[in-house]
Amino acid sequence: MSIAFSRKLNDYIKLAKPRVISLLDIAALAGFVLGLGKSVNIFSWIHLLPVLIGGSLAAGGGMIINGGLEIEKDKLMKRNSWRPTVKGEVSKGEAYTVGIVAAIIGTVVGLLDNLLTSFFIAFGFLVYVLVYSIWLKPRTWWNIVIGGLAGSAAAWAGYAASSGVFNFESLLLGLLVFMWTPGHFWSLALRFKDDYVKAEIPMLPVLVDERTSAKAIAVSNILMIPFALSLTLYLGVIYGILVSILSMILLYYNFRLIKNPNKDEAWRSFKFSSPYLAIILIIAIILRLV
Ligand code: HEM
Ligand SMILES: CC(C)=CCC/C(C)=C/CC/C(C)=C/COP(=O)(O)OP(=O)(O)O
């Protein structure tokens, strides 16, 4: 592989945010396992690869497009100044082309499972690019609340891949991701408030003071917890106990943040948000499979 090609590929991988994709894939895997139902055999797992590959391509494609959309704003943000788009290594047009091609391939790969899986992959991509990145992000602090649906789509795609359906259990799993997203992102946006002020992006922490942001993070997480606990209906009391313990740790970080609404506390709340969701999803996967 030529050096230029591998460098370009590396640029796209960085823009696609692999760490984000890894948790989206865990959400899809949790959906897949919950959708397996009782009769699991070796052939049930065949449908896992298309939704993971397709969902990752579409999510990554969306984030590459987002990088192309926000070059000017990213130039004003210290956190994003390293990006290949900001440094001129990937142009706007290139980011759009690669992102759209990746999303189309991802949606088509989803068809290898079924139409519903492909629909949710396309839905997640379109909500993130059109609804969140283009329409809401520059206009309203509701951007992240509604944009969170994109993450729900990963769980719904996973559930559809193994079951072929969208039912109440699938809805609850997606609502967990949806309700988790604001607390996850607002803690990051509070940590990097200066960046979002400079880029004039109306994130909630830009529009209100630090303590109010901290309270919004805690309230959104308190509202999220019943949705996390709701899957106890399907996964049993051990799941409920473990989620309750994890939720108390999350709220501990959030109440620390309310007490001291500073950058370090905001970062702690943010850095625990992803493991919180990842551990809950992994507990759900294990408890369904044992
Ligand atoms: C529209 C909704 C969302 C927004 C706006 C958002 C925003 C962000 C941002 C800006 C970052 C920092 C990325 C970076 O600079 O590298 C981040 C990190 C991350 N996001 Fe989100 N996020 C959203 C939803 C999600 C969802 C649904 C998931 C997975 C289910 C997720 C998982 C992650 C992970 C794993 C990280 C890396 C965390 C770390 O570095 O410790 N995000 N998010
Ligand atoms: C099924 C499917 C394809 C789902 C897609 C889900 C998806 C792409 C979620 C994106 C989450 C995320 C980290 C957004 C970054 O926000 P941002 O772009 O505002 O962050 P920035 O400040 O780093 O640009």
Q: Confirm if 231 and 223 have CB atoms less than 8 A apart.
A: no
Model confidence over 65-91: pLDDT tens digits? 999 999 999 999 999 999 999 999 999
Compute, in angstroms, the gap from residue 53 CA to the centroid of ligand 2: 17
pLDDT band at 11 (very low <50, low <70, confident <90, very high): very high
* pLDDT surpassing 80 at residue 1: no
The pLDDT of residue 46:
93
Cβ–ligand 2 distance for 144 under 6 Å, the answer no
Q: Answer with the residue of higher pLDDT: 290 or 254.
A: 254
pLDDT band at 32 (very low <50, low <70, confident <90, very high): very high
Question: Could you give the ipTM of this predicted complex?
Answer: 0.92
CA distances, 145 to each of 77, 148, 279 (Å): 22, 6, 22
Starting from the CA of residue 147, give the closest ligand: 1
Q: What does pLDDT average to over the chain?
A: 95
Neighbours of 46 (CB within 10 A): 12
Q: Looking at residue 267, what DSSP letter applies?
A: H
Q: How far apart are CA 238 and CA 31, in angstroms?
A: 19
Q: How far apart are CA 214 and CA 227, in angstroms?
A: 21
Nearest residue (CA) to ligand 1, atom 42: 20
CA distances, 270 to each of 52, 151, 155, 252, 273 (Å): 25, 17, 21, 13, 5
Q: At what angle do helices 263-289 and 237-259 cross, to 10 degrees?
A: 180
Average pLDDT score over residue span 127-134: 97
* pLDDT surpassing 70 at residue 130: yes
Starting from the CA of residue 184, give the closest ligand: 1
Average pLDDT score over residue span 96-112: 98
Q: Which fold has domain 8-289?
A: Farnesyl Diphosphate Synthase (1.10.600)
Neighbours of 95 (CB within 10 A): 26
Query: Which ranges of 37-91 would DSSP assign to H, the alpha helix?
Result: 48-69, 71-75
The domain segmentation of the chain, as residue ranges, is: 8-289
Compute, in angstroms, the gap from residue 167 CA to the centroid of ligand 2: 25
Starting from the CA of residue 153, give the closest ligand: 2
